[in-house]
Copies of this chain bind each other. A is one copy, B any other.
């Protein structure tokens, strides 16, 4: 059960892929697509199917659709837009140089909540890694990683420390990007408090990151759940348009 399964693609997907090709090769920014009726006739499908395809292009950031006007190409460079979303580890993004210690690595039955996002069945095996990150000798973040073993078999044995995403890239030729992150706050569990050397009264910042294959954002390979000391750690959100390259 480790190979991604493919049946025949839905029509709307074939249409959206055809449109991407057209956009990349024949469109410049600001061009309008043919109307939905035209496209429907052209591809010999229903207008709703065309709309469904364009929906995807919109959520991918290629197209802007305006009632009464048309659908406009606002981005025609796939590689560029995907590269912008390339994965940067949370702490790296925060500019922390940190040391990381592997606490545990095992294969367990997948918790239901995780299974949903990794597209696994409840209780099917999943790889769970626990790492602790230090900054200047102090424990700052406790991170639980869940890996889909279909993509990263044996990772619980092969990974020994260092950048997990670098390890995945090198060992499995999978390039990950963050598809989404959620930030919240919660109180520490007793064990976590001990590891992070904080009191039970001190809240933690929690970041859940969903990391997917660059080429297919729906293929979530890894989920990381980090809990970080709020007394030593905060998240900085730069001005939009800031570049860190």
- A: residues with CB less than 8 A from B are 29-30, 58-61, 64, 66, 72, 74-75, 77, 79, 81-82, 84-85, 112-113, 116-117, 177-187, 201-205, 217, 230, 233-243
Contact = CB atoms under 8 A, between A and B. Distances in A.
A58 B243 contact: yes
Name A's interface SS. mixed
A146 to B, nearest CB: 15
Given A182-B79, A183-B183, A230-B184, A240 B113 contact: no
Nearest to A84: B240
B234 A217 contact: no
A240 B81 contact: yes
A239 B85 contact: yes
Given A112-B30, A242-B61, A243-B61, A77 B184 contact: yes
A60 B182 CA distance: 12
A181 B240 contact: no
B185 A239 contact: no
A85 B239 CA distance: 7
A182 B233 CA distance: 10
A239 B204 contact: no
Copies per complex of this chain: 2
Contact of A60 (B181, B236, B241): B241
A85 B240 contact: yes
Contacts of A29: 113
6 contacts: A60-B241, A81-B240, A177-B239, A179-B239, A182-B234, A183-B234
A181 B112 contact: no
A205 B184 contact: yes
Contacts of A85: 239-241
B180 A204 contact: no
Contacts of A203: 185-187, 203-204, 230
Nearest to A119: B66
A111 to B, nearest CB: 11
B238 A180 contact: yes
